[in-house]
Amino acid sequence: MSKYKEIKGFKVQTLASDTAASVVSTGSWAAGGALNTARGYGAGSGTQTASFVATGGVGPATSGSNAHEQYNGSSWTETTEVNTSRSYAGGFGITTAGIVCGGYNPPGTVDLTESWNGSAWTEVNEMNTPTQTGALGGTSTAGFSAGGYANSTNDDKMETWNGTSWTETTDMNSSRFYGASSNQAPYTATIVFGGVGTAVIANAETWNGSAWTEVNNMNDSRGELGGAGASQDSAIAFAGEAPGFSAKTESWDGTSWTEIADLSTARDVVNGSGASSSSALCSGGFTPSATTATEEWTTTPAADFQQINLGQVYYNSTSNAFKVTEQAVPTGAWASGGNLNTGRNSGSSAGTTQNTGLAFGGQSSSALTESYNGTSWTEVNDLNTGRNEASKGMGGTQTSALMVGGSPTTVVESWNGTSWTEITEINTGRGNNMIAATSNTSGMIMGGEPPPSFSVDTEVWNGSAWTEVANLNKGRNNGVGTGTVTASIVIGGQIQPPNAAGQEVESWNGSSWTEIAEVNTATRSAGLSGTTNTDTLVFGSNPGASAKTEYWNGSSWTELADLATGRGGIYGFGSVYGAGAAGGTPPATIASTEEWNATTLNKTITVS
């Protein structure tokens, strides 16, 4: 007789460790051997098992030291001192062939260079420009120093070292000091990231031996950080000043930055080294006092790596648990995206994924339309009638959207992915209305102003005509909406009474509105992502330029990670798993975009 499991069962893969998005995302930091001398502002380089730290200091005003220590993978050993004490110096190379250059030695910045041959330090040719706190990398015969602090200002200079002398070459695009690099990458194929320009920056640039190219920014702006890596396509950034001591680690895959496991100890002005994004070392720094702490970064060997697959069920033999891979909205976070070409607010938006956003209209009666591909915004055909304070919420898709009303008007325009066409007007002209549209042939609008300033009117669009249906329970404007003509939701807005940003939420079942659970924080002129009345995100608010993000799961609201920049009048788009928040006012009009990404994680299956 056949067994039930043979008829209805299915095979579950057995794995020794959890699945992961990439090898580098399996990494973690672990304690290593402590430095003999607590310090930051040092010059470090090498690999995780063969690294050096030379010079450094115990405070910003220090004249520095000439101490030199080497790491063997488990402990640090003091060895031959450099000839000239200093702090804020840079270093590159390995434990048997290294370079220390530049730095600070009262009364000022120095251009001194010293070469290490494994047993002794020798003074060699000086840098062309006295420099401190630059980003350095390469080998003792082919290295570089990029940026830094020179001549009492942050610098964009690039000098290369050929084993004998320094040569000035192409300047960086962005001046900076306290940046970091893929430490062990060839000097003809490296990346420099972070640092301090006019402020702490997230900028990253790659160098191909002759030119600098700006690439995607890190998720977090920070200076005084460490770096490691073997190429311009593989690096990690860790620690730093954001401001405030940072424990964050980010990996670079040649295209984008991803946040991975944090250091155990948040710190800045660290000594960073490592030959790959799978094996690195972070030593010393300030916490705020000088520390001897060393941490080693290690990832799962590539041979043992298992790619994460959404919805996968497997058995983890190490933890003796069945697991499922899912996207967890509450664990998501915001990261920087591409800027709008024209900063603005109070417009309308559409797009059901993070890679298919559409922003149209806005302040000063703009007719501009821009399309987002997940990386950058592109200007496409304008609206026929420029306007602001029109429909807010989910206005359709990137290829099929509606622009309804304005301040106030009855005009409606339909977007087909290429151009806008004026179509049948709404029955009651209004601005700051809420919209819930799935395409340019199916949608509804709710509320708005004037008349009256806090409208309760609802109209449904079937692709050819607008029909008035049941009113909202409470008049409002400047809220947001999403869903379908039979199941939608309207959230917050300016409510009457009390004529201010409100927490009220109403749900539509195709025939009537019902008041449901309120958002935790009153919201007005917010951004929204999500396409159903049971799964949506609301973020930002005016006045007050709120950074709050809340998630609706169909029964309750949960506060999630804040936007990096509080704002209202937002162009919102996407889903609860991948969203975008563009433009707005905090209070000046901005062009920046932030991207929301829900974390994909492996969750233990429990039986209650």
Average pLDDT over residues 486-505: 92
Q: Are 214 and 204 in contact (CB under 8 A)?
A: yes
In three-state secondary structure terms, 5 is helix
Residue 499 predicted with pLDDT over 90: no
- In angstroms, the CA 217 to CA 451 distance is 45
Residue 6 predicted with pLDDT over 90: no
- In angstroms, the CA 215 to CA 92 distance is 23
Closest residue by Cα to residue 100 from 75, 132, 60, 147? 132
- In angstroms, the CA 571 to CA 527 distance is 6
The more confidently predicted of residues 154 and 553 is 553
- Report, in this order, helix, strand and coil percent for the chain, each rounded to 5: 0, 45, 50
**Burial class of residue 594 in the structure, from the number of CB atoms within 10 Å of its CB (0-12 exposed, 13-18 middle, 19+ buried):** buried
pLDDT at position 17, please?
Answer: 84
- In angstroms, the CA 420 to CA 305 distance is 49
pLDDT at position 91, please?
Answer: 96
pLDDT at position 10, please?
Answer: 67
CB count in 10 Å sphere of residue 185: 26
- For residue 4, give the H/E element and its range: helix 4-8
What pLDDT band is residue 586 in, cutting at 50, 70 and 90? confident
pLDDT at position 7, please?
Answer: 56
CA of 145: how far to CAs of 18, 123, 202, 348, 396, in Å?
40, 17, 19, 46, 50
**Burial class of residue 160 in the structure, from the number of CB atoms within 10 Å of its CB (0-12 exposed, 13-18 middle, 19+ buried):** buried
What pLDDT band is residue 327 in, cutting at 50, 70 and 90? confident
pLDDT digits (tens, 9 = 90+) for 251-295: 999 998 988 999 999 999 999 999 888 999 999 999 999 999 999
Average pLDDT over residues 154-182: 94
In three-state secondary structure terms, 202 is coil
Residue 180 predicted with pLDDT over 60: yes
CB hemisphere CA count around 187 (13 angstroms): 23
CA of 107: how far to CAs of 60, 62, 460, in Å?
14, 11, 74
Q: Are 144 and 134 in contact (CB under 8 A)?
A: no
CATH of domain 24-304: 2.120.10.80
Residue 376 predicted with pLDDT over 80: yes
- In angstroms, the CA 69 to CA 294 distance is 13
The more confidently predicted of residues 109 and 59 is 109
pLDDT digits (tens, 9 = 90+) for 200-237: 999 999 999 999 999 999 988 999 999 999 999 999 99
CA of 125: how far to CAs of 164, 165, 406, in Å?
7, 6, 68
User: What's the maximum distance between 2 C-alpha atoms anywhere in the chain?
Assistant: 91
Write phi, then psi, for 177 (nearest 5 degrees). -130, 170
Do 347-600 and 24-304 fall under one CATH topology?
yes
Ranges of beta strands (E only) in 522-570 are: 527-532, 535-541, 546-552, 557-560
Show Cβ contacts of residue 478 under 8 Å, excluding neighbours closer than 6 positions: 392, 432, 493, 494, 524, 525
Domain residues of the chain, as ranges? 4-18+307-326, 24-304, 347-600
Architecture of the CATH domain 347-600: 6 Propeller (2.120)
Write phi, then psi, for 7 (nearest 5 degrees). -85, -45
Residue 301 predicted with pLDDT over 90: no
pLDDT at position 58, please?
Answer: 78
Residue 5 predicted with pLDDT over 60: no
In three-state form (DSSP H/G/I as H, E/B as E, the rest C), the secondary structure along 424-491 is: CCCCCCEECCEEEEEECCEEEEECCECCCCCCCCEEEECCCCEEEECCCCCCEECCEEEECCCCEEEE
Report the alpha-carbon angle 446-454-470, nearest 5. 40
Q: Are 192 and 205 in contact (CB under 8 A)?
A: yes
Beta bridge partners of residue 186, listed in sequence order = none
pLDDT digits (tens, 9 = 90+) for 52-93: 999 998 766 567 899 999 999 999 999 999 999 999 999 999
CB hemisphere CA count around 259 (13 angstroms): 20
Q: Residues 333, 338, 339, 345: is their CA dihedral positive or negative?
A: negative
What pLDDT band is residue 310 in, cutting at 50, 70 and 90? confident
- In angstroms, the CA 551 to CA 104 distance is 50
Show Cβ contacts of residue 2 under 8 Å, excluding neighbours closer than 6 positions: none
What radius of gyration, in Å, describes the C-alpha atoms of the chain?
28
